[in-house]
Structures are given as C-alpha cells and as structure tokens.
C-alpha cells in the first residue's frame, strides 16, 4: 500500500512539474535537473525568473480572465 501511495505521489508530482513548465514556458522558467545538487537547487529557487513565476501563481492569467495560473496548472 505504501509503495502504491509513493508511486501515485511521484506521478502527481511529475504531472504538476510538466504543467508548470507548460504554463510558464521554458523561456521564462528555466528547467532544473532532478539530480541537481542542493546548491544548484537553491540557486534555481532564488533566481529572478522562479520568484517572478511564484508571484504569478495566484494572479489571473489575463485581464478579464477568471482563471489563475494555479488553476491552469492544476
């Protein structure tokens, strides 16, 4: 049961990551290697582009739209 839960969690995480990069695009949100070191991860998370995308998460995608970036990702 625990293995199935871990597998489902991993699948969900992968789908969300794919969706995040699809919504923001790889030009805005640079990809990060899943085997990156802690330092590389930290540098990526503190980058200007990642911080900008984070601030967009709960904003509407366009004026007059009722869909937020988060809703589109999910």
**Residue pLDDT, tens place only, 13-72:** 889 989 999 999 888 898 888 899 999 999 999 999 999 999 999 999 988 889 999 999
| pTM score of the predicted model | 0.74
Domain count of the fold of the chain: 1
3-class SS string, the chain: CHHHHHHHHHHHHHHHHHHHHHHHCCCCCCCCCCCCCHHHHHHHHCCHHHHHHHHHCCCECCCCCCCEHHHHHC
């Amino acid at each position: 049961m625990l293995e199935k839960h871990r597998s489902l969690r991993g699948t969900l995480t992968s789908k969300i990551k794919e969706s995040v990069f699809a919504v923001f695009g790889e030009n805005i949100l640079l990809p990060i290697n899943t085997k990156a070191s802690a330092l590389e991860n930290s540098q990526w998370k503190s980058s200007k582009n990642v911080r900008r995308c984070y601030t967009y998460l709960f904003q509407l995608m366009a004026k007059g739209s009722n869909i937020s970036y988060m809703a589109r990702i999910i």
